[in-house]
Copies of this chain bind each other. A is one copy, B any other.
Amino acid sequence: MAPGTTSDRFLRACRRLPVDRTPVWFMRQAGRYLPEYRELRGDRDVLEAVRSPDLAVELTLQPLRRMDLDAAILFSDIMVPLAAVGIGVRLEPGTGPVVEQPIRTARDLDRLRPLEPESDEPHVLEAIRLLRKELTVPLIGFAGGPFTLASYLVEGGPSRDHARTKALMHEDPPLWARLTERLADLALAHLRAQVEAGVQAIQVFDSWAGALDPDDYGRFVLPAARRLFAGLSDLETPSIHFGVGTGELLGLMAQAGGDVIGVDWRVALDTAWDRIGPDRSIQGNLDPAACLASWEALRPKALGVLRRAAGRDGHVFNLGHGVLPGSPVENLERLVDLVHRTTERATT
């Protein structure tokens, strides 16, 4: 690639345009599986690391020095804009986000003030500006989706059942609507500022939305998700809408918005695409746990994903969720090459 130019393979696939090879990137590609990541981040809290643009830049770039990835994703966390508006959040190693004072009442909602990106999170925008000078592949920015952010705030941390969150949702639908609307606006401000600073695609991680039945998703999450994507619609920037365990929600998530729908491994890629509809791209969906196995075991699993996407434009290869910490780096390196080699076609 000539210096100063940006590969458009990933961005073209997001728009369902023909590509020379299927693009590939990995959720959490800047992560603990990389020895240089562990060394550089050390014991530092992610939220603290994000506050140093130089560090965030370096952590973002590390996987790209190893692998021929088609996109970079900003080193950050979905809790960053919440911390930026003054919500007390820690990211506990091995646990996840812990919110000091959960949000459960109308009064609590007052603590969720609007985000002013330039003053609340200048370090995020600075990291993006620095990264754009370094990168020859597109940079992806991201935000948490309304259900996922609401769950962390209401539960006060990660949750298996999301019991308090769902109880609030069912018990007080108007309060729930205000909460998710406010979170959609927070995510929107965060995303628009990232785009303005230079990210070339965005992903909404509504990672835990799959905990809901389709009726509840449609009633309690889709409106806020739609609001978020509608707020991005005047931009040229492609958007990806992702969640885990969302097999039954894919049609509704596509309705809410997203040029690309990200799917996990529980649903076969072709089945998922049928549910999403032919007017969207798809991202996914190899089981991250497959990357812990030998290359001999991993290879046919990856080819299986590619086979289910064959013959259509608009596939972005990814795992079905983030890279697991114990994954051998070599497996991911070979995976990138396999995807590229297997899908090579004549340039159109």
Residues of A within 8 A of B (CB): 161-163, 166-167, 170-171, 210-216, 245, 247-248, 265-268, 271, 287-290, 292-294, 297-298, 301, 304, 320, 324, 326
Give Cα A320 to B214, complex, Å: 14
Contacts of A266 in B (CB 8 A): 210-214, 245, 247-248
Give Cα A9 to B211, complex, Å: 31
30 A-B residue pairs with Cβ-Cβ distance under 8 Å, sorted by A, are A161-B288, A161-B289, A161-B324, A163-B289, A163-B292, A163-B324, A163-B326, A166-B289, A166-B290, A166-B292, A167-B289, A167-B292, A167-B293, A170-B289, A170-B290, A170-B292, A170-B294, A170-B297, A170-B301, A171-B294, A212-B287, A213-B266, A213-B287, A213-B320, A214-B268, A215-B268, A247-B248, A247-B266, A247-B267, A248-B266
Q: Is the CB of A293 within 8 A of B245?
A: no
**Taking A245-B245, A248-B271 as contacts, is the C-beta distance between A298 and B163 under 8 angstroms?**
no
Nearest residue (CB) in B for A171 is B293
Give Cα A296 to B290, complex, Å: 44
Give Cα A63 to B251, complex, Å: 39
Nearest residue (CB) in B for A158 is B160
Q: Given A163-B324, A211-B266, output 17 extra A-B contacts at Cβ < 8 Å.
A: A161-B289, A163-B292, A166-B287, A166-B289, A170-B289, A170-B293, A171-B293, A171-B294, A171-B297, A210-B266, A212-B266, A213-B266, A213-B320, A215-B304, A216-B287, A245-B245, A248-B267
Contacts of A248 in B (CB 8 A): 247, 266-268, 271
Q: Is the CB of A298 within 8 A of B213?
A: no
Contacts of A170 in B (CB 8 A): 289-290, 292-294, 297-298, 301
Nearest residue (CB) in B for A210 is B266
Give Cα A215 to B265, complex, Å: 10
Q: Is the CB of B213 within 8 A of A265?
A: yes
Contacts of A216 in B (CB 8 A): 287
Nearest residue (CB) in B for A160 is B160
Nearest CB of B to A227, in Å: 23
Nearest residue (CB) in B for A214 is B268
Centre residue among A171, A287, A301 by max chain B CB count within 10 A? A287
Give Cα A248 to B161, complex, Å: 21
Give Cα A163 to B328, complex, Å: 13
Give Cα A166 to B293, complex, Å: 8
Give Cα A271 to B163, complex, Å: 25
Contacts of A245 in B (CB 8 A): 245, 266
Contacts of A212 in B (CB 8 A): 266, 287
